Structure 1
Amino acid sequence: MARNEDRRKALKNIIAGTAALTAGGMFSSFPVQAAQSVPHKGNINHAVCRWCFSQLSVEELCIASREIGIKGIDLVGPKDWPTLKKYGLESSMCNGAEINLIHGFNDKQYHSKLIEKYSEMIPLVAKSGYKNLICFSGNRAGKDDETGLANSTEGLKQLMSLAEKHKVTLVMELLNSKIDHKDYQCDKTPWGVELVKRVGSDNFKLLYDIYHMQIDEGDVIRTIKNNHQYIAHYHTAGVPGRHELDELQELNYPAIMKAIVETGFKGFVAQEFIPVKADKLASLRQAVALCDV
């Protein structure tokens, strides 16, 4: 499966408002009144990425999330924010301002369009009471690390005063370039950290995707401990395969979550695995329980 293409298509559909497919059977009959939050330990703010459960409507995912004890849904745009509010859920990582994953801030030819789109979206995020808005470096397309850093810094700095005014954090995701997102530039923590330092604002940080960084650099716990001050958000998935957080994958998620908690992190950890088991909501429930340290 070309999962990078799957995610690009899913994100595109979510932005366009067409990704919420009506689920049948057990999902469509799930009663709204049954949505009662499961108590957790309170050390991790749990979230889930909407695109991974696109067989559910946004409302059905909200109902299931409330029942599981999830507090936020990632990668949801303005069209679906009222539904999240209806169920008391946060849009934990907003999207909709990006062009796509490959055309990002590291290329000056996209700056004007990105600045226009983010300048429109930042106030909307703030007005709805949310804090995080995702962004991407884009692909290298022949650019060396320094050129990508310089270009990204130049573009992002033009948005920082607006982000600071509205108390919104632009969050650049670290993605692996080995398997899923060939040629993506923000594919190593040191590159991302250097960009955060150059932008020089508390309103620009990183999304540390544990799955992606295990593939491209490993040493997850040490990296998190050494760089937690530059990280605003976390994503999970099993390695290899990007599937369930089960015994078939190699990451020790309870240990990773304990390391995150020890840094004093108060943001969200979002499940971003692609469930392959028949009962997909059971897989989500299991992943949240595993990460609830």
Structure 2
Amino acid sequence: MSNRRKAIAKIVGASIGTVLSGSPGFATGSSPTGFRSGIRHSVCKWCYGKVPLEDFCKTVKSIGIESVELLGPAEWPVLKANGLDCALPHGAGLGIEKGFNEPDYHNELVRSYEEVIPLVARAGYRTLICFSGNRKGKTDEEGLVNCEKGLKRLLATAEKHKVTLIMELLNSKVDHKDYQCDHTAWGVELCKRLGSDRFKLLYDIYHMQIMEGDVIRNIRENIAYIGHFHTGGVPGRNEIDATQELYYPAIMRAIAETGYTGYVGQEFIPKRDWLESLKESIKICSI
């Protein structure tokens, strides 16, 4: 089981009962003229599991990060005490592998999300992560039909509380074998069938580079269906610096050019000093 899968399972259980230097071409520093916005910075806590949350919050805020994400209701008071947002809360559902593509889970999933969505709204947050689940032999069409049926049961609650459900695009090649929402086109088709602004996609750049590449074009063409972004170096899900194959300054510029005003969440596992790596990632993504 991956570290992230373990972290998510733990969160669900609890919630419900430098700076770059010497790397030519990566340091950008200023925003090019004509962009409607820069990048708002968030970070996923699970990548830094050994760092106490209170200490983590104080440290990341000091380097310009506005949000710590993938945390559930039990952790939100710590964020609020430190003046931080939660760009993408967790806390509902049955984990990554058991999602809305399986009708047998729908009743339990609906109960869980209907319990947590009001908590998200009461805390002043705007999103809540969800998952398709693993295929387990289902065709893409069967998965779409099942997800549509299950998620439609939640749209009225999501719309009432102004909370957007965000389904994550994950790779099924390396990290999440058999996961169904593993291509942008599949996720976009689900968005179209649901026809609600209260359902969007988490475009995880790391995962989608592994599955399909063509990252910038896919972002530009599908930004209307994207509600959040994650980073990560390819291969390995480590630092997003010049040691990996993606050029994040260009990706961030493309995101900003679309007019996107949400957060970009850093979700890489540092191989070096975690704080220096995080500072570096923020510099790289500050266009």
Q: Normalising by the residue count of structure 1, what TM-score does the alignment of the two structures yield?
A: 0.90
1:73 counterpart = 2:73: no
1:147 counterpart = 2:142: yes
1:224–1:260 CA contact under 8 A, matched in 2: yes
1:215 counterpart = 2:210: yes
How far residue 133 of structure 1 moved from its aligned partner, in angstroms, is 0.2
| Residue aligning to 1:287 | 281
Query: Using the alignment, how far apart are the partners of 1:44 and 1:76 within structure 2?
Result: 21
Residues 176-215 of structure 1: matches in 2 within 5 Å?
176-215=171-210
| Residue aligning to 2:4 | 7
CA displacement, residues 46-92 of structure 1 (integer Å, 9 cap, x when unaligned): 00001001111111110111111000111010001111011110111
| Residue aligning to 1:54 | 49
Query: Using the alignment, how far apart are the partners of 1:243 and 1:44 within structure 2?
Result: 20
CA displacement, residues 211-269 of structure 1 (integer Å, 9 cap, x when unaligned): 00000000000000000000000000000000001211000100000000000001110
Query: Using the alignment, how far apart are the partners of 2:154 and 2:11 within structure 1?
Result: 24
Residues 104-253 of structure 1: matches in 2 within 5 Å?
104-253=99-248
Query: Using the alignment, how far apart are the partners of 1:273 and 1:17 within structure 2?
Result: 24
Query: Using the alignment, how far apart are the partners of 1:236 and 1:274 within structure 2?
Result: 10
Query: Using the alignment, how far apart are the partners of 2:8 and 2:97 within structure 1?
Result: 12
Provide structure 2 residue ranges, at least 5 long, that are not aligned to the other structure.
16-28, 32-36
Q: Normalising by the residue count of structure 2, what TM-score does the alignment of the two structures yield?
A: 0.91
2:54–2:78 CA contact under 8 A, matched in 1: yes
1:257 counterpart = 2:252: yes
How far residue 17 of structure 1 moved from its aligned partner, in angstroms, is 4.5
CA displacement, residues 95-116 of structure 1 (integer Å, 9 cap, x when unaligned): 0102010000000000000000
CA displacement, residues 102-147 of structure 1 (integer Å, 9 cap, x when unaligned): 0000000000000000000000000000001000000000000000
Query: Using the alignment, how far apart are the partners of 2:172 and 2:223 within structure 1?
Result: 22
RMSD: 1.4
Relative contact order (C-alpha < 8 Å, sep 6+): which is higher? 2
1:40–1:69 CA contact under 8 A, matched in 2: no
| Residue aligning to 2:23 | none
Query: Using the alignment, how far apart are the partners of 2:199 and 2:14 within structure 1?
Result: 26
Query: Using the alignment, how far apart are the partners of 1:150 and 1:224 within structure 2?
Result: 25
Query: Using the alignment, how far apart are the partners of 2:69 and 2:56 within structure 1?
Result: 11
1:15–1:76 CA contact under 8 A, matched in 2: no
State the 4+ residue runs in structure 1 displaced beyond 2 angstroms: 13-18, 39-42
Query: Using the alignment, how far apart are the partners of 1:82 and 1:191 within structure 2?
Result: 36
Amino acid at match of 2:104: Q
Provide structure 1 residue ranges, at least 5 long, that are not aligned to the other structure.
19-38
